[in-house]
Amino acid sequence: MSMNLHADTIDLWQTPTWLTIVSLKKESGKSRKWTDTRFIYAEWVKGKLNGCWDNDDEYFAMKGRVESHLEELYNLKKINFQMM
């Protein structure tokens, strides 16, 4: 069963379980600040542009999706993240 990162004010992309856990908890087991979780999630979203693309159109379509999602993410004043 996958444990996804969830937020109350924005629809997040489906995340792998490892990212959900790493973004919410420090190695010590303590919770991260919401700004740290946002940063980790945003870096993962940016990573969606890595790799090979069949053509420029597919790459630029994904680049537009990433940029739009990150703009929405960073325009929020506060995000309550949780695992679902």
Q: Domain of residue 37: give its range.
A: 5-83
Kindly report, residue by residue over 17-74, the tens digit of the pLDDT. Answer: 999 999 999 999 999 999 999 999 999 999 999 999 999 999 999 999 999 999 999 9
CA distances from 81 to 6, 56, 59, 60, 69 (A): 6, 34, 29, 29, 16
**What is the per-residue pLDDT for 35?**
97
Residue 1, pLDDT > 80, answer no
Q: Could you tell me which of 22, 24, 11 has the C-alpha nearest to residue 68? A: 11
**What is the per-residue pLDDT for 2?**
78
**What is the per-residue pLDDT for 50?**
95
**What is the per-residue pLDDT for 27?**
94
- Domains contained in the chain, number: 1
